[in-house]
């Protein structure tokens, strides 16, 4: 059946950006459409064909296929792919506008990028080691399409595409990688999976289905742009809930990171988890801890490269490093900190640049580079120092040869560079910084943090640097409004110099305790603890509200901390700024009684009651009883008092208005006047009593004030004298505290690094122990002073060693071999850096080969010697048997009364008897080992003899060859008869030929 032609469906025209000739035209940026960038190398055509077959006629996206093509041949990819899909397929030309439901193919010998939705075709780099077309396209796609970019990596043999996929993922896009088991060549997919950038790992058919599902997701399909912060489906309450879940699980607080970035990462996770509702995703986080960890690692954006922004490293080398090393004392170390180091490329780049700057002086200058990141995974990769081959795009061939080692298709950082860098996990937002630093390189970290955290980090960096220390930021970062900490040193490269005249900033570092933030066991994260015995609390509340007198609780400073009951009749806010001091809020008439009761309660510590206090309120006077009760507290310095207000049982003392009917007699009027005078006298008496009590109270206060004043004066003198000392001591303690925090952080970092290296050394030591135990050779390692460091089990018998001999001088050992000058041989080998060999015998007469070579450390220093004893007894006996056999064969040849010789396959004389040498008039030693052509007459046809001998099979009877001329002394020119026979016994199992010469008797 014929496939349907492309013109059977509506054609999709390939648009181009047209520019009017002679006048530049600014192209307006187009909203990004969903684009799937597909990268492949060897075997990628088959995988891409399978992917196309799994797509519907309208997948809702554009596909751009980037493959490693031959630069010298035209590509037939468009024609091949057109037969496998109904989608229009075309080879990209410069200026092609991306259209949905279209397949684009990269042209050969070119580098493809996308800018504002327009495909740009550039020239291929001349250096083939730096040609990574998939990375180049993926990076440009991430910059333009962001969350609507889909990176797909199929079969291939290199590591091209991994760096580009990392940037797509960081921009909010999705990464799909072919399952290695379904590929023809799995190197590229395995490199992406190992780098941790793969979101989905599937066969090509499933990748096609996943792409269609992801493009149709509401978060992608409904908007032309990625979700803005205001459009994101997460409310503030939901965001706080997500931050809480992350803090509980990882001990990292993301609430002070920029929310737009976090919302984009949340959108990515929702796409991958097939969730469109924010509440559903939060529920997924609560039910699946693995998704919380996946979100955590997704939020830690790690996009970095070797020598990113090369101009900045030129500025470091030309302007910063000379100032760091110019006036440095001989033992002063160059201390550098790289926070947010990700997978280590930036730290190693700074180390390489510094080593290149120092040149031959690198070994004389101590270097300490601290590299930290909040991600454990990134730190582990940085410590390993293994990177894909694609770093050749950023690292020059000279640097690759000098600072890297090629291993299994990857590049590993050299040990000299690795030893300069200390990697450790650190949360910049809460962990103490390092101190006494010369340089901080913090690039593209601040762009993810909010302004408050930005300001805090500026003060942290200012504290961590030495005077005149340097701070380098990313191109998109600056010190912003915090210029009081730094001054600009190199504006274009964002290098700043620490200001020394800034007042010291108080830094507080309070590490979060992960254990304290864990959810209670057996309780969902969203569930709150239920109130216990609620009915009892309710009953208590009802009783207090009905029967308890109103009152307030005040602290030692008379500040109201709690009110109980209706206190409006006794307290009111004073005009002006709100003030909760009890004396400021008491109504008229209560101040004297409350103050007296409080003073007495303070002195005695007992409850005090004052009755008959006159409250003036709303034109009436009422009698109020006041009771002050001290409350028991855990601390004697934080005493509290309960002040209660109760109406007096005698009722109101205010004069009530009296009715005077006009019909009453004049006598009743006189009685009323008499009653009025009595009331006035009672009022005067009451006022006199209040005045006397006030005088008494004031007198006691004056006495207390005088005593207190004397105490205060003496105490004030002591305080003034010690105040300065305390201030200076406090500053010293604050400074020491900060230094201790920084030193502690540095110690923790170094300790973590040492633990990692200790594990590596333990593994290496285990490998060495197993290797030595498995090698059946006597080996002894000696230190520089010729003490035994280590030996193999076989060496115990050969050299008469036991386990306790480790650390003993080799001269104190009596070995089982006959070598009296062993120590002298060892010293000679070490002093002259030569290998010494000697054949020795043990006490049983067995022969052994003693080999002594200098021990070289990793930095090529002589640090002892290595003794190796090889058993050559069998070889020696074989040589003896061979010599005996040779002597026997020579004796047999000499006993034969006929000239004879033994020839090898190259017609060289192996042996000859004396009759032959006499006939040829040669000495016996001159014959053995020489070609036949040199010892016989030129009339002998040696090639013909060789050809005839080659036809003889070993073991056959002797064969007469032919007569050859030979000049015989005294008898003129005569012929001799040659007879040959082959037999086994030559080297490499090549047969030998026995050649005998018969000469006729003289006439």
How far is the CA of 796 from the CAs of 765, 774, 850, 867, 895, in angstroms?
Answer: 20, 14, 15, 13, 51
User: What would the two tokens of residue 306 be?
Assistant: 């070797």
Beta bridge partners of 495: 472, 490
* Helix pair angle (289-299, 278-287), 10° resolution: 110
User: What would the two tokens of residue 142 be?
Assistant: 């991430």
Q: Tell me how far apart the alpha carbons of residues 221 and 33 are, in angstroms, rounded to a whole number.
A: 9
Q: Tell me how far apart the alpha carbons of residues 407 and 404 are, in angstroms, rounded to a whole number.
A: 9
Selection from 423, 429, 398 nearest residue 347 by Cα: 423
CA torsion sign for 236, 238, 240, 246 is negative
Q: Tell me how far apart the alpha carbons of residues 147 and 227 are, in angstroms, rounded to a whole number.
A: 8
Q: Tell me how far apart the alpha carbons of residues 580 and 556 are, in angstroms, rounded to a whole number.
A: 13
Q: Are 356 and 403 in contact (CB under 8 A)?
A: no
Q: Are 369 and 347 in contact (CB under 8 A)?
A: yes
Q: Tell me how far apart the alpha carbons of residues 782 and 632 are, in angstroms, rounded to a whole number.
A: 76
Q: Tell me how far apart the alpha carbons of residues 598 and 643 are, in angstroms, rounded to a whole number.
A: 8
- Could you tell me which residues come within 8 angstroms of residue 77 by beta carbon, excluding any fewer than 6 positions away? 45, 65, 67, 69, 91, 105
How far is the CA of 354 from the CAs of 130, 363, 949, in angstroms?
Answer: 24, 12, 72
505, with CB counted inside 10 A (0-12, 13-18, 19+), is middle
Torsion, Cα of 262, 268, 271, 272 (10° steps): -120
Q: Tell me how far apart the alpha carbons of residues 83 and 315 are, in angstroms, rounded to a whole number.
A: 54
DSSP state of 742: H
Q: Are 438 and 365 in contact (CB under 8 A)?
A: no
User: What would the two tokens of residue 11 be?
Assistant: 């054609």
Residue 35, helix vs strand vs coil: strand
Tell me the backbone φ, ψ of residue 997, rounded to 5 degrees: -120, 125
CA torsion sign for 572, 576, 580, 584 is negative
691, with CB counted inside 10 A (0-12, 13-18, 19+), is exposed
Query: Tokens 């002050």 sit at which residue?
Result: 628
Selection from 941, 948, 944 nearest residue 982 by Cα: 948
Which H or E run includes 408?
none
* Helix pair angle (44-53, 204-216), 10° resolution: 50
How far is the CA of 370 from the CAs of 425, 436, 445, 457, 568, in angstroms?
Answer: 11, 12, 16, 17, 64
Query: Tokens 């980037």 sit at which residue?
Result: 66
Burial 775-787 (b: 16+ CB within 10 A, else e): eeebbbbbbeebb
Selection from 355, 350, 374, 485 nearest residue 425 by Cα: 374
Q: Are 472 and 442 in contact (CB under 8 A)?
A: yes
Rg (CA), the chain: 49
Which H or E run includes 255?
none
Per-residue model confidence (pLDDT) at position 968 = 42
Q: Tell me how far apart the alpha carbons of residues 364 and 942 are, in angstroms, rounded to a whole number.
A: 70
Q: Tell me how far apart the alpha carbons of residues 557 and 554 are, in angstroms, rounded to a whole number.
A: 8
Half-sphere exposure of residue 799: CA atoms within 13 angstroms, side-chain side: 28
Q: Tell me how far apart the alpha carbons of residues 918 and 926 are, in angstroms, rounded to a whole number.
A: 12
Burial 925-959 (b: 16+ CB within 10 A, else e): eebeeeebeebbeeebeeeebeebbeebeeeeeee
Q: Are 71 and 108 in contact (CB under 8 A)?
A: yes
Q: Are 571 and 553 in contact (CB under 8 A)?
A: no
Q: Are 829 and 854 in contact (CB under 8 A)?
A: yes
Which H or E run includes 559?
none
Q: Are 801 and 782 in contact (CB under 8 A)?
A: no
Q: Tell me how far apart the alpha carbons of residues 886 and 879 are, in angstroms, rounded to a whole number.
A: 10
User: What would the two tokens of residue 307 be?
Assistant: 């020598």
Q: Are 215 and 60 in contact (CB under 8 A)?
A: yes
Q: Are 369 and 316 in contact (CB under 8 A)?
A: no
Cβ atoms < 10 Å from Cβ of 573: 11
User: What would the two tokens of residue 916 be?
Assistant: 């032959």
- Could you tell me which residues come within 8 angstroms of residue 493 by beta carbon, excluding any fewer than 6 positions away? 309, 311, 312, 315, 472
Q: Tell me how far apart the alpha carbons of residues 116 and 146 are, in angstroms, rounded to a whole number.
A: 12
Q: Tell me how far apart the alpha carbons of residues 159 and 574 are, in angstroms, rounded to a whole number.
A: 76
Selection from 445, 406, 367 nearest residue 129 by Cα: 406
Per-residue model confidence (pLDDT) at position 628 = 93
CA torsion sign for 185, 187, 193, 197 is negative
- Strands in 783-907 per DSSP E: 788-791, 836-841, 847-856, 862-871, 900-903
Residue 334, helix vs strand vs coil: strand
Q: Are 611 and 597 in contact (CB under 8 A)?
A: no
Ranges in the chain, pLDDT < 70? 1-31, 72, 126-130, 221-233, 501-538, 540-541, 544-545, 619, 633-637, 649-667, 689, 693, 696-697, 700, 923-926, 937-939, 954-975, 984-990, 999-1003
- Could you tell me which residues come within 8 angstroms of residue 667 by beta carbon, excluding any fewer than 6 positions away? none
Per-residue model confidence (pLDDT) at position 510 = 53
Q: Tell me how far apart the alpha carbons of residues 792 and 964 are, in angstroms, rounded to a whole number.
A: 64
Q: Tell me how far apart the alpha carbons of residues 443 and 445 are, in angstroms, rounded to a whole number.
A: 6
The angle formed by the CA atoms of residues 966, 972 and 973, to the nearest 5 degrees, is 35
Q: Tell me how far apart the alpha carbons of residues 834 and 828 are, in angstroms, rounded to a whole number.
A: 8
- Could you tell me which residues come within 8 angstroms of residue 23 by beta carbon, excluding any fewer than 6 positions away? none
Selection from 615, 602, 639 nearest residue 567 by Cα: 615
């Amino acid at each position: 059946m014929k496939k349907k032609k492309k013109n059977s469906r509506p054609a999709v025209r390939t648009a181009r950006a047209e520019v009017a000739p002679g006048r530049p035209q600014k192209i307006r940026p187009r909203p990004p459409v969903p684009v799937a960038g597909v990268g492949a190398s060897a075997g990628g055509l088959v995988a891409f064909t399978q992917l196309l077959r799994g797509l519907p006629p309208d997948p809702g996206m554009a596909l751009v296929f980037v493959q490693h093509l031959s630069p010298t041949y035209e590509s037939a990819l468009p024609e091949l792919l057109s037969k496998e899909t109904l989608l229009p397929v075309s080879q990209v030309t410069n200026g092609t506008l991306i259209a949905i439901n279209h397949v684009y193919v990269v042209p050969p010998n070119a580098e493809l990028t996308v800018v504002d939705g327009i495909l740009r075709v550039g020239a291929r780099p001349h250096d083939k080691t730096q040609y990574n077309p998939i990375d180049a396209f993926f990076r440009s796609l991430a910059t333009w399409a962001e969350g609507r970019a889909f990176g797909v990596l199929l079969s291939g043999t290199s590591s091209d595409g991994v760096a580009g996929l990392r940037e797509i993922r960081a921009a909010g896009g999705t990464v799909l990688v072919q399952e290695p088991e379904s590929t023809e060549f799995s190197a590229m997919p395995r490199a992406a999976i190992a780098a941790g950038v793969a979101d989905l790992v599937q066969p090509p058919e499933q990748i096609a289905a996943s792409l269609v599902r992801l493009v149709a997701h509401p978060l992608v399909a409904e908007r032309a742009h990625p979700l803005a912060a205001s459009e994101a489906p997460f409310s503030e309450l939901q965001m706080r809930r997500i931050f809480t879940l992350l803090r509980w699980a990882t001990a990292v607080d993301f609430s002070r990171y920029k929310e737009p970035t976090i919302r984009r990462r949340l959108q990515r996770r929702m796409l991958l988890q097939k969730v469109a509702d924010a509440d559903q995703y939060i529920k997924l986080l609560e039910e699946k801890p693995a998704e919380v960890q996946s979100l955590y690692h997704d939020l830690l954006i790690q996009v970095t490269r070797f020598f990113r922004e090369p101009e900045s490293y030129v500025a470091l080398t030309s302007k910063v490093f000379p100032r760091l090393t110019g006036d440095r004392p001989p033992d002063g170390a160059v201390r550098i900190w790289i926070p947010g180091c990700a997978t280590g490329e930036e730290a190693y780049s700074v180390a390489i640049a510094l080593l290149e700057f120092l040149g031959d002086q690198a070994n004389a200058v101590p270097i300490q580079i601290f590299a930290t990141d909040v991600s454990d995974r990134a730190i582990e990769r940085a410590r390993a120092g293994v990177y894909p081959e694609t770093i050749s795009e950023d690292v020059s061939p000279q640097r690759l040869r000098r600072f890297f080692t090629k291993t299994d298709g990857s590049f590993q950082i050299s040990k000299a560079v690795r030893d300069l860098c200390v990697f450790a996990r650190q949360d910049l937002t809460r962990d103490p910084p390092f101190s006494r630093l010369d340089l901080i390189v913090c690039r593209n970290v601040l762009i993810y943090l909010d302004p408050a955290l930005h300001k805090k980090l500026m003060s942290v960096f200012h504290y961590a640097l030495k005077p005149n220390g340097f701070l380098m930021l990313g191109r998109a970062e600056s010190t912003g409004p915090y210029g009081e900490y730094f001054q600009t040193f190199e504006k274009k490269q964002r290098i700043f110099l620490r200001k020394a005249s800034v007042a010291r900033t108080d830094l507080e570092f309070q590490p979060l305790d992960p254990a304290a933030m864990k959810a209670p066991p057996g309780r969902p994260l969203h569930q709150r603890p239920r109130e216990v015995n609620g009915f009892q609390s309710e009953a208590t509340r009802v009783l207090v509200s009905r029967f308890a007198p109103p009152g307030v609780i005040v602290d030692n400073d008379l500040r109201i901390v709690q009110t109980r009951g209706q206190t409006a009749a006794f307290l009111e806010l004073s005009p002006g700024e709100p003030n909760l001091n009890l004396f400021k809020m008491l109504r008229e008439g209560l101040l004297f009684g409350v103050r007296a009761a409080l003073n007495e309660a303070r002195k005695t510590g007992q409850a005090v009651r004052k009755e008959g206090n006159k409250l003036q309120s709303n034109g009436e006077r009422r009698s109020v009883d006041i009771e002050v009760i001290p409350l028991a507290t855990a601390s004697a310095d934080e005493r509290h008092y309960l002040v209660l207000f109760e109406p007096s049982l005698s009722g109101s003392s205010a004069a009530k208005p009296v009715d005077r009917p006009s019909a009453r007699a004049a006598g009743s009027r006189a009685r009323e006047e008499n009653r009025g005078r009595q009331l006035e006298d009672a009022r005067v008496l009451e006022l006199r009593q209040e005045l006397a009590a006030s005088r008494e109270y004031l007198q006691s206060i004056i006495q207390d004030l005088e005593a207190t004043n004397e105490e205060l004066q003496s105490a004030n003198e002591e305080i003034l004298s010690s105040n300065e000392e305390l201030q200076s001591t406090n500053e010293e303690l604050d400074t020491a505290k900060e230094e201790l925090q920084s030193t502690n952080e540095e110690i923790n970092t170094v300790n973590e690094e040492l633990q990692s290296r200790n594990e590596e050394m333990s593994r290496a030591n285990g490998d060495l122990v197993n290797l030595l135990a498995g090698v059946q050779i006597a080996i002894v390692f000696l230190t520089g002073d010729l003490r035994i460091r280590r030996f193999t089990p076989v060496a115990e018998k050969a050299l008469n060693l036991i386990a306790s001999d480790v650390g003993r001088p080799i001269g104190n050992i009596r070995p089982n071999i006959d070598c009296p000058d062993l120590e002298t041989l060892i010293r000679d080998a070490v002093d002259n850096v030569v290998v010494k060999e000697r054949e020795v015998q043990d006490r049983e007469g067995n022969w052994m080969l003693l080999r002594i070579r200098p021990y070289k450390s990793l930095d090529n220093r002589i640090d002892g010697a290595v003794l190796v004893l090889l058993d050559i007894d069998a070889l020696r006996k074989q040589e003896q048997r061979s010599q005996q056999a040779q002597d026997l064969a020579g004796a047999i040849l000499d006993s034969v009364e006929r000239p004879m010789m033994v020839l090898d396959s190259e017609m060289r004389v192996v042996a000859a008897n004396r009759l032959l040498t006499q006939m040829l008039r040669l000495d016996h030693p001159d014959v053995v080992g020489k070609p036949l052509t040199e010892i016989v007459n030129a009339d002998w046809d040696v090639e013909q003899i060789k050809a005839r001998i080659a036809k003889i099979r070993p073991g056959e009877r002797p064969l007469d060859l032919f007569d050859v001329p030979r000049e015989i002394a005294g008898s003129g020119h005569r012929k001799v008869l040659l007879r040959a026979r082959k037999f086994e016994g030559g080297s490499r199992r090549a047969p030998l030929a026995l050649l005998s010469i018969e000469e006729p008797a003289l006439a």
